[in-house]
Structure formats: C-alpha cells, structure tokens
Structure 1
Amino acid sequence: MRDMLSAAATMLNVAAADSGETWGWQGRTLSGPVTSATGNAWLRLVEAPESKAGGKLWEGPLEAERTMPSAVPRPRLRERRTWTDGGYGYLAELYDRVDAPVIAPYGPVLREAPDLGSGWWEELGAAVGSITAVSTDRVAVRQQYLDRAMPQFLGFPVDTRVPAWSTAHGDLHWANLTAPKLTILDWEGWGIAPAGYDVALLYSYSLLVPATAAEIRQRFSHLLDSRCGHFAQLVVITELLQSNTRGDNLELEAPLRKQLEGLRSVSRAVA
C-alpha cells in the first residue's frame, strides 16, 4: 500500500508531507497529507481485489463532487486515478486538505463529550437537510437487507417496510466529522436510506456520552421523535447489533439494547 501510495503521488504530481499516514478500516485505505503546485492537499488510496474494484464505493466521492451542493461542507475532490497491479485494483483520490481535526480519531464511537458550539450544530443540521434534498439513484440502505436483518437482530416483530426514503451520507459518525470547523468526510457510501437515518446513526454512536446524545435528541427531535425517526433508529440498531456479532462496537451493545427497549412500544405503531 505504501508503494502504491508513492506511485499515486507520482501520477498526480504531488509530494508527501512530513506528517504521518492514516490507515482506514481494516487497512483498506491509506491516506496522508501532500503538497502540490496548487497548495496543500490530501492523497487517499483505496485497494481491492481486482474482481471487486470499482462500483458504488469507488464512485461515491466522484458522484458526491458532481451532485452535492456546495453548501454541504466536504473536502473537494481535485483529481483521481485508477489502475491495476498484481491482481489488485487501486483508486487514488486527491482532495483539498482539511485542516480541522476529526472529532473522534480513534473510531466512530464517541467516548468523550466534544466542545461544539451552537453554530457547529446548526451547520450540521443545515448540511443534513441539504443532503436529503439531493436526487440520486444511489442506494445506501436496501429494503432487502431490512427485510432479512431487522427480524433477526431486533428480536420482535416489526413492519420492515420503509415509511419514507431520503438521501443520506450513510456513514455519519464522529470519525467522519471535524471541529471546530465542520467538514463531513468519507462520501463512499452515500445514497438513499430511511428518512432520518444519518441523525439516527450519529445518535446511536453517541450513546456512551449521555450529554451529547441528549444534545442530538434535543436538536433533532423533529427527525428522531417521528414515525420515520423511530424506524430509522430501529434500522441503525439492527446494523450495529449485527456488527456486534463480528466483534465490532461491542461497548455499544448494552446501550443499544436499552435504546431498543424504549423504541419497542412505539415500533408497534410502525408494525
């Protein structure tokens, strides 16, 4: 991966900066700061077996650059290259560099309360609203998955039909948000999802920090405390409880089940 990141830098005519590298989920991506003739930038490399290279995840950032309104704060994509080598496919993307740090560099689950002002929250709310208004045929959450997984992981009968769909970032967690200046990172998986999905996901990833979870509930009550919001929370709980079975996010299992009990009575209105 380091050799290929170096090759990507040559292709894109950039030079690695002095600071370190950043590895993505399970070593699938490798990124780092670079310098170019047009200023500071960020170089990101994605690797996959050649048979699985391409598709929705690879095209997500490019489609976001083409489709998302400029009001949505995100790193702008400058250039990209794709190639194959030794049975693997590679995607190199060159972005404007984001100076503000991510809120949770250790992963998606929030573990301590961030110092976020009202302006940050208001900008996040405006960004979520702008994203939902984007028209797309990309899919972030599939009905077929919900039909199969919700009965299995929720543990009680529930109507799995999505009451309303809207466009979502699809991975709105604390490792993909920066502060004090808000930027939303990682646009691989965006697409349509149950309405309220992004906020429901951020809320569930905040359960270990009750003050921040309460802040989200208060600021986004219009989304969470609705029929669509209840359903979106059940979808997120399904996904995260499934991730527990793979050994991920284990510290969230107990608070997720407590959240689920609170939703169980209202979910019968959905069923």
Structure 2
Amino acid sequence: MLPNPVFANIALVTPKKELQQQIKAALDQGKSLEEILQFLQNKSKAPPSIKRAFKDYQMESGLLFYQGQIVVPDIGDLRTDLLWIFHNSPLAGHPGRQQTLELVSRNYYWPGIHADTYWHMDSCKTCQQIQKPKYAPIPPQPLELPTRPWQHVSYNMIVDLPKDGNSDSILVIVDSFTKYVILVEYSKKLKALELADLFLRHIWKCYSMPKKTISEQGRVFNNKFLKALSKLSRDNHPQSDGQTEQVNPTVEHFLWAYSGINQKDWVKWLPMAEFAYNNATVRRP
C-alpha cells in the first residue's frame, strides 16, 4: 500500500541539443578551462609537461571532451541542470548515489563531479521524505543460468495500490539475463487465467516462450496462476532468484515521487518508471 503522498512538480527537461549549445557557449566564459583551450589551439608549441597533463582533452564540434565525455564548465546552472535531469526528472526517477553518478557520467564530466552528484542526491527533499519500501529478503535458490535474453523470466506482483481506473496492482516481469523489466498494470480481481493471458500478451508474444519462468515464493502468486502458466511454459519454478525482489522497491519509490496528490494517477507514470529502471540497470548483451 502506498503511504501518504509525497509528490514532485514536473518541469520540462532541457532538450539535449539545447543543453549542449549552452555548454558550448559557456566554454569561453570561465577561466578554469582557459589553459586547456589555449593548449588545444596550439598543441605543437606546448611543452611536454603540458602535453602530458592535457593529453585526454580534445575539441569536437565546438565542445570540449575529456576521455570521450563532454566537459561542463562551472558557469550558471549548467551542472545543477544536468544533476536535476539525471536525478530529479522522470527520465531518471530519483535513483541512488551510484546510479545518479553513472547516469551523469555516461556523457558528461567536470572536476568534482562525484562530490557534486553525491551532495545533490543527499540534498534531494523528495528522497529525504521517501524511504524505499523494504521487503523481507528471500534467499535465492541456485538455478541454471540463462545464456540469452528472455530464456529465463522471473515474475512477481505489487498489490493494493490506490485504485487508478480499473487497476490496483502491477505485474513485475524481469528477464534474468539482461535484467530488463516490464511493468503491467492490472486489477487484483483478475482471475488466474486472465493473469496468465497478460503474461502471454506482454512477454511471450514479443520475445517467444521462455525456457523457464520463475516465481517469487511467498508472494501473492497462487497455485491457480502457477498452474495456468505451467500449461503454457515448458518449465515453471515456484522459486526465487531474487530478480523481482530488487525491482519492486525501486518501482514504488518512483511512483511515490511522481504520482499525484491522491496517488491515484500512478498508471500514467508506469511506462516512465519502466524506462527509468531499464535505462539505469539493464545489461546489454
């Protein structure tokens, strides 16, 4: 059940091209990058010590890069805007310290980026007010490791959410190989065969029938649902591999942060929650 609402106002995210234009325009405004820019304009005359110090910098299309990442000057709110995009915005979903840093660092760099990112995340009022729900850990069972995407699938449910339309629950499905997550809203009143049909339409239709489906023991899954799935799946295990157990708290954290004042518009945020989780987590084969 969702707690008392804590929600955030959503602002438009600055388009990538516009943001990079702002970074480009700010390069000459500060003195901190002046020596590097002068070196890049006349490398041949630089002494060996300077060449060694600045060897990882290069200019491309008017942007300064350090080891392949765009250097962000300390001008105006550029760095703060980037941290907002990669932590506060729905594209990110208020991830933790390391995930926020990883998202920012994929394309951007500045001296002190670690400290700035940690400070921004630790100062986030939304994260301070929302505690990720904790589930009792289920010891993972030793299972055969998958060798390709969608060969093994884990599934679980988040139930008793505030009713939004006809939906009050989420079916959480995780590909055991890539950790890719699919979130499907549904009504808790659905019967076992109808839930199995959701699984069929959202997973097997798109990715073919998995070799193995794994349920989280001790959750709301009932024998009828497992039986309905077993009619379709070649190998069904009422065991735990810990996959969905890691997903559920993150999904609920996202919905608490962005859902409306009555927590009754969470369905419209579910696709963005799915994107944010997968963007930060998925392992590409």
TM-score, normalized by the shorter chain, greater than 0.5:
no
TM-score (norm 2): 0.24
Greater relative contact order: 1 or 2 (C-alpha under 8 angstroms, separation 6 or more)?
2
Q: Which one has the bigger strand percentage?
A: 1
- Compare CA radii of gyration and give the structure with the larger one: 2
